[in-house]
Amino acid sequence: MSHRLALTVASAFALALIGCADTKVGEKADVSVAEVIDNINRWDGQIYQIHGWLGTCEGHDCAIFETRNDAQTAADGNYGSDAWKRAMDRRLSIASIGDFDNRAAPLQFEEVALIALVSAECRGWNGGCTDRAPDLYPFHITPINPANEAE
């Protein structure tokens, strides 16, 4: 991780700890996965609340997708199929930080709101990263429509 990115992540984490992470720092409050992908270089280093579908989140893989179908297609593991490739192109990888995987585990394949710092570190001219590329450094995740909500 570059020194600038490490400082940005540390600063954003400090803001989250003092309760400011739920106030967006980026130019738009709520954004989709597709919007982040389209603007990842311009939004690099800014915090956004991203809406999407959480896929598998454990080990070397954790990502948020535009649709539930894409999250399921990626998890089904038909590697190399056109559908799998398209789903993988429409996802943002979530970095492994602290106990995020434990907090995210019950939300796999659910629609979520994720507050995260956007990183272009592994996109474009910077080349690619393998496994758990840090497109997003997560701070907080919540379900949009909790499955077990009491009525």
Confidence (pLDDT) at 23: 44
| Tens digits of residue pLDDT in 16-50 | 443 444 444 555 678 999 999 999 999 999 999 99
- Please name which of 141, 126, 51, 151 lies closest in space to residue 95, comparing C-alpha atoms: 141
> Is residue 5 predicted with pLDDT exceeding 50?
no
Confidence (pLDDT) at 18: 36
> Is residue 107 predicted with pLDDT exceeding 90?
yes
Give the E-state strand segments of 22-83 in sequence order: 30-32, 47-58, 61-65
| Tens digits of residue pLDDT in 57-100 | 888 889 999 999 999 999 988 888 999 899 988 999 999 988 99
- The 3-state DSSP class for residue 44 equals coil
CA–CA dist 28, 22 (Å, integer):
12
Confidence (pLDDT) at 14: 41
Q: For the whole prediction, is pTM greater than 0.85?
A: no
| Tens digits of residue pLDDT in 109-136 | 999 999 999 999 887 665 667 777 789 9
CA–CA dist 32, 37 (Å, integer):
9
83 contacts 21 by C-beta, under 8 angstroms:
no
147 contacts 73 by C-beta, under 8 angstroms:
no
92 contacts 134 by C-beta, under 8 angstroms:
no
- Please name which of 134, 110, 118 lies closest in space to residue 42, comparing C-alpha atoms: 118
